[in-house]
């Protein structure tokens, strides 16, 4: 049963993380961030960082991996927002 729970967590993590890839690619190629809310992304980054910490505290590999990658992608968008 535990393997199914871990697999479910990994699949959910992959899907929610991959959802950010199109936004990163679009922002990179268009160099436009006018429709992106900096406040939303900064708040989101803090929340995802806390999920990473929580993942370490409960020793959840799916939570640590998915949220670490999501945080990286969200921070890339924040960087683009500040740069462009």
The CA distances from residue 58 to 13, 52, 63, 78, 82, in Å, are 16, 10, 9, 28, 34
What SS3 class is residue 27?
A: helix
Whether the per-residue pLDDT at 63 is higher than 80: the answer is yes
Q: Which residue shows structure tokens 């871990």?
A: 6
Quote the Cα angle for 66-71-72, to 5°. Answer: 100
CATH of the domain at 9: 1.20.1280.290
The domain of 70 spans 2-83
Q: Which two tokens stand for residue 10?
A: 């990994």
Four-residue CA torsion sign, 75, 20, 39, 48: negative
pTM of the model: 0.85
Instruction: Tell me the pLDDT tens digit for each residue of 15-50.
Output: 999 999 999 999 999 999 999 999 999 999 999 999
């Amino acid at each position: 049963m535990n393997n199914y729970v871990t697999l479910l967590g990994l699949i959910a993590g992959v899907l929610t993380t991959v959802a950010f890839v199109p936004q990163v690619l679009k922002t990179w190629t268009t160099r436009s961030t006018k429709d992106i809310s900096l406040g939303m992304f900064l708040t989101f980054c803090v929340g995802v960082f806390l999920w990473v910490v929580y993942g370490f505290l409960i020793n959840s590999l799916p939570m640590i991996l998915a949220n670490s990658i999501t945080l990286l992608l969200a921070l890339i968008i924040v960087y683009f927002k500040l740069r462009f």
